[in-house]
């Protein structure tokens, strides 16, 4: 809901390295930046370049976390980890996903996604939000606009189930866009 505001930038890190690089860029940026961190990811540990090494992650630059030729998977925020998990499972079946994390929603790097689709022709978007008017929808539309001729099937979105968030932990995990759901989506997309 914050993304619609013109002029407001929105960053969504998935890893500690993203978080540090994007935060620095956000601070140095003169424009207001919404820095969205997933609560569940706050405890996640991952390598970060040493303190002496100064690095910035520019906005509007997506990162390809895993290369593959069969299906382009775009995953936002925490969903990246589900997507990577799914990619490992799918690789065992011979479906190699190219997993892309946009890192910033405004500005959004669609070019990287479009370039990937030139090779794979299939796309799955994973977003830990309810389906209606989710960010996944906002990523899907520009891809249809720019790369319609490169698609062999419609773009499949994996979101939370369209139910209010359950209170019980276990059920809550079930409604999220978890790895089995992403695997199913990728299989559907690639006519596997």
Residues in contact with other proteins by the rule CB under 8 A: 121, 148-153, 191
Closer CB to other proteins, residue 155 or residue 175? Answer: 155
Distance CA 39, CA 164 (A): 18
Distance CA 63, CA 112 (A): 8
Nearest distance in Å: CB 38, other proteins: 34
Closer CB to other proteins, residue 86 or residue 123? Answer: 123
Closer CB to other proteins, residue 79 or residue 189? Answer: 189
Measured in degrees and rounded to the nearest 5, phi and psi for residue 140 equal: -65, -40
Measured in degrees and rounded to the nearest 5, phi and psi for residue 24 equal: -60, -45
Nearest distance in Å: CB 120, other proteins: 10
Distance CA 48, CA 31 (A): 26
- What distance separates the 2 farthest-apart alpha carbons in the chain? 48
Nearest distance in Å: CB 124, other proteins: 16
Nearest distance in Å: CB 142, other proteins: 15
Q: Identify whether the C-beta of residue 70 lies closer than 8 Å to the C-beta of residue 122.
A: yes
Residue (of 191, 189, 186, 190) closest to 87 by Cα position: 186
Nearest distance in Å: CB 176, other proteins: 27
Closer CB to other proteins, residue 79 or residue 123? Answer: 123
Q: Give Cα 104 distance to the centre of its chain.
A: 10
The tokens for 177 are 């866009």
Nearest distance in Å: CB 150, other proteins: 5
Closer CB to other proteins, residue 132 or residue 191? Answer: 191
């Amino acid at each position: 809901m914050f993304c619609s505001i013109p002029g407001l930038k929105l960053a969504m890190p998935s890893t500690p390295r993203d978080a540090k690089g994007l935060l620095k860029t956000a601070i140095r940026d003169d424009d207001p930046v919404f820095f969205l961190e997933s609560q569940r990811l706050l405890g996640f540990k991952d390598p970060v370049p040493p303190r002496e090494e100064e690095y910035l992650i520019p906005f509007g630059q997506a990162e390809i976390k895993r290369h593959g030729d069969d299906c382009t998977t775009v995953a936002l925020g925490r969903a990246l980890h589900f997507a990577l998990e799914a990619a490992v499972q799918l690789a065992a079946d011979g479906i190699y996903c190219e997993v892309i994390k946009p890192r910033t929603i405004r500005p959004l790097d669609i070019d990287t996604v479009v370039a990937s689709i030139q090779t794979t022709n299939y796309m799955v978007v994973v977003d830990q939000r309810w389906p209606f008017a989710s960010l996944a929808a906002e990523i899907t539309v520009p891809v249809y606009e720019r790369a319609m001729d490169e698609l062999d099937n419609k773009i499949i979105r994996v979101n939370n189930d369209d139910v209010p968030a359950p209170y019980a932990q276990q059920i809550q995990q079930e409604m999220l866009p978890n790895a089995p759901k992403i695997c199913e989506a990728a299989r559907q997309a690639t006519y596997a």
